[in-house]
Structure 1
């Protein structure tokens, strides 16, 4: 683990490895989630009736038997929405209840409100639904052929890719398929709507974005936002899946609660959650690349196409970020990127950890890999040859200068510490001696931009109270979903007051306390909310300093807060006594704080500007083995070196690096989404969808934070975001598998062709297909 220090007030708690603030509650099962909230007497439960057809016209919805079923109190359809029948995050293309057309299996048609969840679910089965079935578009290539898009196609260009391709000494072209991914958070979507005595509502929602839920619910009810309060103490995982789509379930619960004047709970079971909610966007990519004899890219022409599903949701910014991150760590001089946002009759895909960045980065890494195989050299050498420079070749294709570039040094350190070259040679010898088991190794880098690409989301608020006994209550707009955000922000506030962490308590995120928040997403939770909380704490501390300096006839600069005390020259007071005296003197001990990320600007029309405040960097070396008879594979070892700046909490950051990496391994190796020809998701439960388990973690793992790291930008204590960037470290596992497949197929062009046939996820079946051992027709 890194021993990187943080400059914090008087040796405070920031920079130290401190356990997650809810860890004891998690491991003992005492942590309360939305599903654990005690319901008042007479509370009702909701189940949602879903379309069983991917595309069609809704001709008749006969719910008479449903209404007459035991325990049913009400049945809701589109006609019962008092306000706007829409929960679309960007466009108005997501109906709460379908009313004319159905556009994916699982789309809500109606909701049953009953005295128990069991009664509601039983009643669903009595519905008589008549749908005129229409042809459905189910995959990306079909959508491209039929020009079916949810949003207009976007182009991003620099230089003249066509001319440069014609002049390049070497050219290659290829295609790559990249699968989606289910969020598989432990806590399914849930919303509890509680009517208040004045007609307003308080809703407990498992969401990353309380403000979005507030707005959608208010619009659905036709009321102003101040009549809807959203609360969330913690989420049982989210990974982007609870950024936009929880608004649907909160809206349905709210409509029922408002209409009936009773508490209403809506909780999805696992099958319903996986069927009804969006995934990571799967991508198809076609590329042409021109390069020189050393492997340096001279020209690149890329077509990106993603499966967005039936509506826009967040597909615009997701695909934009894929275009931004297509460079990863590499300077692209002459480049053309065309991005198609494909409409299919499947559930609308949404945010997922990395938000399109991983898909773009995988494409350029595939291109690098193809160049290396064409030249017959180590892919690492080609990667290093194309790195951004310092002071030259340092401007991205969207015109942002890479000012904090450390990737070359970081990769060199990791290659040395992991014995990459020696192990690569040893693996070649092992492969020559083994006909059945083949090994592979790969080192891949990561450069990931930190900030929301939508500039207005880069803001946060916080509320801090200091009580007369010296205890501190903190509230901010960020959501705790297991990533340790509350712990880090509490560390910041503790340091500002010179207090132990135990003196700080964090209350549930609440739109009634901190309004107009951005989603907890884009890896920006600590950056934004840490700065906002720091601002609030500093305002209170400044008031106390002014008062105490005046009372004790001292210079303001002589009033210091440290180790639970306030030092006023030679006078030392316990913090609690200083707070009591300040309160007694009528000094305000409560303040809001606000932060807006500086420097960033971005023109969405030209796609030019500085969309990111800074970049986070990392690299990983992964070693794998494959069984050439079965296609099964195993991750043997990983070495990771990751840049977290001056880590606020190395224990939490290491956990995020490890967790993000393994989630990325799942995306690229075993998590396969599969729809049948009727558009029904067949991988809709743990029995049919495989995520990584503890046994998938390698026996040898060296995971370290970059020591003596810094952030040149003025982030909170110079720390860097660590939520999303580590997921892309898993690219090394996929490319190690390509190395192993290439070794199994033979040297030269045969190995190169086999490696190029391996698509993601690299399941055992995909490995066998790449080796030519299976006919892929029935296994796609």
Structure 2
């Protein structure tokens, strides 16, 4: 049983731990004690076998021959399967086709699974898979976004959004700048790697334990590859050790392979990827190549914009169409682009298919406009913050380039508050003075905003279901379609249900997400977990409450309006009953104590043909101010301080939300600074573990990190208790670190030159930026 949080005292007339109060993560004590069970911790069923796959060693080739005799003969091997052994569907593409569960004659990236092995141990399966003798006919491999752009090699058609006449605006603007940036990808590096365990059922069906953000999709695809009806497959997710989008679609392949082997052998199968195999075989955040052409006036006000975003999608569509589309939606970030055209390209390359990652293309899209704003400021010799503030959405300048009106203008005041609380102006003066007298170490400062749209851009995904049960002792049980990956969704839903009945949160239990309890669930993604599932759970509670209110009014001779729930009690007119006592009475009088709930997000629409619509229910907002110090001799740097002010509406759980903001910021900082994916000229990933791929460590966190929630900012939209999503938006606060690094380099030129700085901004790239700035300064001196 979950214990009541120690940091919460009972407030007069209010239950403990309900929505709006800080409460511990539901698995917090299990996490710190090492007792939280993940799939690899589950009791292994009798006869369990282990799976591994043999994968392609070529980026693009035809398989001319494949000899698996040595694989089959390896000690401990029980079964080996290829695509020919799949009884049902062979393509497991989540939206569009293109993802074979196992490759056939054609392979399109290094790491693409070709065959699968079941053996008596994890080690035996992996060693056996390496013994295959595969011969290839190599084909030309497209490995770069630039080559894909040059040859129009795309996984999905390109798309354009346009407002007004940008060509005319650009031609007539007093100033005009062009620029480009390569935005690097990012490995999810979840603590729990991709894993699934499948058990055959007595009726020919399958039970799938999956580490997936989308158990309904795992259920559907497993059923399809086995040639079974969907109801024959059950999928369950109790928790994931991190997901970040990497387990939205790509977890399904493990469930499918394990299920195929389970069907062939009649034995339960566990398929767990080692870290190197996980990094080679599964997709990452898309790296992007972005360009801009911006026209602006003497004050830096943007008058016209031509923006291009091109994502490296890999060999298949996966979710790339929606990811590039979201990059287009967010290429304005927080700024009104009066006359603008945004074009997006889904570039096909012979690399692993990239996939969802926290922010889902939004961060990559924001980078291009943030670079442009910095460049405008340097060109005009203005403070970048002043240019940012000048261009923020505000009344009268509030329609996006895709036609949605920004209805709640939070950012101007939020940015002003952070500017004051971070002491930006004083620190700017101090940093400028420091840089003038410090020849080697240079400090940088930047304050950047975030405006992030909340909703799935695929309309049908904006729905959720829930099941709420009340037992006769007054305890409550909740099941919903959202998955827990460490973000605190379960405790938030428990708090929502507790608040609906005004009972202590320890009376509410949220059970593992299962497809046989709530069907057809949407993925836990797009920052929508609390919005969707919280509203579905609340709907179920309201249905139960309606029956309870009617019963109480009749039983105690009062009007329905005189029945209320408060502080673990039910008040009906003059009567006051303990919650558990009232529930028992309701049961004895045959009043329903359970209900399903459902929610569909309103107002969502978008026309792909016209590039116009209302794709988001609302926007989440925030801003970060970061200060860095840079060693110009080595390119090494340190983030010294970061101030964050973030808008979460009426927070469901302030402690959880602050934790999400801190984690999101650090993950975004890592994406833009240390996390570098390196491929060789054959398309082979060279960074396949923590020795070569550097996620942020505790020592990389700013020693002075100040995080605050924007006060008195309830959501105007009718979300669950007027809260706002908090999962993805904080990641983009890390852009402030990248901008501060550019600011430090710009100080070498008296802030007259904006250095090129692709991401991640590794020390090597920082040194290149320093050299470019010094070369520019030398050229200016020679010209003068």
Partner of 2:606, secondary structure, is strand
Q: TM-score, normalised by structure 1?
A: 0.96
Q: Which residue of 2 aligns with 1:147?
A: 152
Partner of 1:778: none
Aligned to 2:194: 189
- Aligned-pair CA distance for 1:552: 2.2
Aligned position for 1:364: 369
Partners of 1:91 and 1:714 lie apart in 2 by 33
Which residues in structure 2 correspond to 1:180-259 (within 5 Å)?
180-259=185-264
| Residue 128 of structure 1, aligned match among 130, 133, 157 | 133
- 1:155-175 CA deviation, whole Å, 9 max, x = no partner? 111111111111111111111
Return the offset for 1:583. 1.5
Which residue in 1 is equivalent to 2:3? none
CA shift at 1:557, angstroms?
Answer: 2.1
Q: How does 1:753-764 map to 2 (within 5 A)?
A: 755-764=754-763
Q: Secondary structure at the match of 1:326?
A: coil
Q: How much has 1:142 moved relative to structure 2?
A: 1.6
- Give the secondary-structure state (helix, strand or coil) at the position aligned to 1:624: strand
Q: Map of 1:130-529 to 2, 5 A cutoff? A: 130-390=135-395, 392-529=396-533
Distance, in Å, in 2 between the alignment partners of 1:771 and 1:414 is 29
| Distance across 2 between alignment mates of 1:119 and 1:700 | 48
Q: d(CA) in 1 for partners of 2:545 and 2:167?
A: 60
Deviation at 1:772, TM superposition (A): 2.2
1:102-117 correspondence runs (5 A) = 102-117=107-122
Aligned mates of 1:399, 1:757 — CA distance in 2: 32
Matching of residue 573 in structure 1 with residue 573 in structure 2: no
- Report if the CA contact (8 A) 1:8-1:717 is conserved: no
Q: Deviations over 1:451-505 (max 9, x none)?
A: 0011111000000110111111100000011111011110010111121011001
| In structure 2, C-alpha distance between the alignment counterparts of 1:331 and 1:43, rounded to whole Å | 58
Deviations 1:510-534 (A, max 9, x none): 0000001110000010000001001
Q: Distance in 1 between matches of 2:166 and 2:190?
A: 42
Deviation of 1:358 (Å)? 0.6
Counterpart-to-counterpart distance in 1, 2:656 and 2:544:
28
| Aligned equivalents of 1:676, 1:8: Cα separation in 2 | 64
Query: 2:750 aligns to what?
Result: 747
Checking the alignment, whether the CA contact within 8 Å between 1:310 and 1:346 is kept in structure 2 is yes
CA distance in 1, matches of 2:549, 2:13: 15
Give the deviation of 1:383 after TM superposition: 0.8
2:101 corresponding residue in structure 1: 96
Aligned residues: 764
SS at match of 2:442: strand
Q: 1:150–1:312: 8 Å Cα contact kept in structure 2? A: yes
- Matched residue SS, 2:626: strand
User: What is the CA–CA distance in structure 2 between the aligned matches of 1:769 and 1:240, rounded to whole Å?
Assistant: 32
- Could you tell me how far apart the structure 1 residues matched to 2:263 and 2:543 are? 40
CA distance in 1, matches of 2:392, 2:557: 59
Q: Secondary structure at the match of 1:734?
A: helix
8 Å Cα contact 1:217/1:228 also seen in 2: yes
List gaps (5 residues or longer) in structure 2: 1-6, 775-784
Instruction: Kindly indicate whether the alpha-carbon contact (under 8 Å) linking 1:9 and 1:495 is maintained by their aligned counterparts in 2.
Output: no
Residues 1:691 and 2:691 aligned together? no
1:705 correspondence with 2:709: yes
CA shift, 1:10, in A, is: 4.7
After superposition, the C-alpha distances for 1:238-286 in whole angstroms (9 at most, x for unaligned) are 0011001111110001111122221111000111111111111111112
Distance 2:502 2:267 in 1: 46
Mapped to 2, the partners of 1:10 and 1:116 lie a distance apart of: 54
Which of residues 672, 675, 690 is equivalent to 1:671?
A: 675
Residues 416-448 of structure 1, C-alpha deviation per residue, up to 9 Å, x if partnerless?
111101100100110111111000000001111
Deviations 1:601-632 (A, max 9, x none): 11222221111001111111000001111101
SS at match of 1:771: helix
- The residue matched to 1:535 in structure 2 has which SS? helix
The structural deviation recorded for 1:741 is 1.0
Q: Provide the C-alpha distance between the structure 2 equivalents of 1:41 and 1:213, rounded to a whole number of angstroms.
A: 24
- 1:81-140 Cα offsets, whole Å, 9 max, x none, are 111111111111000100011100100000110111111112112111111111211111
Question: After TM superposition, which residue ranges in structure 1, 4 or more long, deviate above 3 angstroms?
Answer: 7-12
State how far apart, in whole Å, the 2-side matches of 1:571 and 1:159 are: 64
SS at 1:653 equivalent: helix
Contact in 2 for aligned 1:9/1:496 (Cα 8 Å): no
- Aligned partners of 2:293 and 2:305 also within 8 Å: yes
Could you report, residue by residue, the CA deviation over 1:291-335 in whole angstroms, capped at 9, with x for unpaired residues?
A: 111101111111211100000000000000010111111111111
Compute the TM-score of the two structures, normalised by the length of structure 2: 0.96
Residue 566 of structure 1 and its aligned partner are, at CA, apart by 1.5
Match of 1:714 in 2: 718
Tell me the residue number matched to 2:778: none
* Residue 18 (structure 1) aligned to one of 20, 23, 29: 23
Partner of residue 641, structure 2: 637
Deviates more, 1:568-577 or 1:52-61: 568-577
Q: Secondary structure at the match of 1:481?
A: coil
Q: Residues of 1 paired with 2:12 and 2:771: CA distance? A: 58
CA RMSD of aligned residues (A): 1.6
Superposition deviation, residue 538 in structure 1: 1.5
Deviation at 1:769, TM superposition (A): 1.1
Partners in 1 of 2:569 and 2:416 — Cα distance?
46
Going from structure 1 to structure 2, the CA distance change for 1:649 and 1:555 (only over 3 Å counts) comes to same
Equivalent in the alignment of 1:771:
770
Change (3 A) 1:728 1:8: farther
CA distance 1:774–1:345, shift in 2 (3 Å): farther
Whether contact under 8 Å (2:291, 2:368) holds in the other structure is no
